[in-house]
């Protein structure tokens, strides 16, 4: 395992990166505001599981293949961008009342969990992050695979903590949305537009972006 100094540097850097908004965090925010705390927590669980998939993939060398192949990167990037745009369009086309539907009645929490997984898994920058960032803190003389899993798990845990904080802080807004049709419409248009903009940005950003 890395020494205490290296692990400390890794922890601080990973904490800063976890606090930086990305597709997963913005998705959790949109679901938390639109559907309440339950959907936000389900979304957080989904993005956490998606992040763990990237950790395992990176540890097995899957991310190395992704970084080395422009075609593979482009396919995954465009798939993720298209999915975000799809979610945004669905949000824009939904009625204002749909933005405050309860997950328990509609099965929305399960969908939020599944969509959280897809949003994170189809984010190639997450895979490239683990490939470029985590190896810098791995001790070459140790078990590289095990170290990668441990450090990756720490990074995912920090990301999940940031997403949980977003979900908890966003959920009180739901009460106001339930009382105000104007706020619900603004939230729907804002969330849908943000998801579409995020998808378009992800789709046109170059490999080094």
Reply yes or no on whether the pLDDT at 193 is more than 90.
no
Q: CB-based contacts of 108: which residues, under 8 Å, 6+ apart? A: 35, 39, 101, 102
Q: Could you give phi then psi for residue 21, rounded to 5 degrees? A: -60, 135
Cβ atoms of 30 and 108 closer than 8 Å: no
Q: Which of 140, 139, 141, 159 is nearest to 55 (CA)?
A: 159
pLDDT of residue 27: 81
Q: What is the DSSP string of 111-172?
A: HHHHHHHHHHHT-HHHHHHHHHHGGGG--TTS-HHHHHHHHHHHHHHHHHHHHHHHHHHHTT
Question: pTM of whole model > 0.85?
Answer: no
- Write the burial class of residue 95 (CB in 10 Å: 0-12 exposed, 13-18 middle, 19+ buried): exposed
State pLDDT tens for residues 103-158. 433 457 788 898 889 888 887 767 767 776 777 777 766 677 888 889 999 999 99
54 dihedral zone (left: phi>0; alpha: psi -120 to 50; beta): alpha
Q: Give the pLDDT mean for 73-88.
A: 76
- Write the burial class of residue 56 (CB in 10 Å: 0-12 exposed, 13-18 middle, 19+ buried): middle
Q: Which of 69, 41, 58 is nearest to 168 (CA)?
A: 41
pLDDT of residue 141: 66
Structure tokens belonging to residue 165: 């904080």
């Amino acid at each position: 395992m890395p020494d205490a100094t290296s692990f400390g540097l890794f922890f601080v850097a990973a904490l800063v990166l976890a606090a930086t908004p990305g597709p997963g965090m913005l998705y959790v925010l949109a679901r938390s505001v639109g559907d309440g705390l339950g959907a936000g927590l389900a979304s957080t669980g989904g993005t956490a599981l998606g992040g763990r998939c990237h950790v395992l993939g990176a540890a097995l060398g899957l991310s190395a293949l992704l970084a080395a192949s422009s075609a593979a990167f482009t396919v995954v990037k465009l798939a993720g961008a298209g999915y975000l745009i799809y979610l945004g369009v669905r949000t824009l086309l939904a009625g204002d009342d749909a933005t405050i539907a309860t997950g328990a009645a509609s099965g929305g929490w399960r969908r939020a969990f599944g969509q959280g997984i897809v949003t994170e898994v189809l984010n190639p920058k997450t895979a490239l992050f683990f490939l470029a960032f985590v190896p810098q803190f791995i001790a070459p003389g140790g078990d590289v695979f095990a170290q990668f899993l441990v450090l990756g798990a720490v990074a995912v845990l920090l990301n999940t903590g940031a997403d949980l904080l977003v979900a908890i802080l966003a959920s009180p807004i739901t009460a106001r949305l339930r009382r105000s049709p104007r706020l619900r419409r603004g939230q729907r248009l804002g969330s849908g537009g943000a998801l579409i903009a995020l998808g378009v940005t992800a789709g046109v950003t170059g490999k080094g972006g």
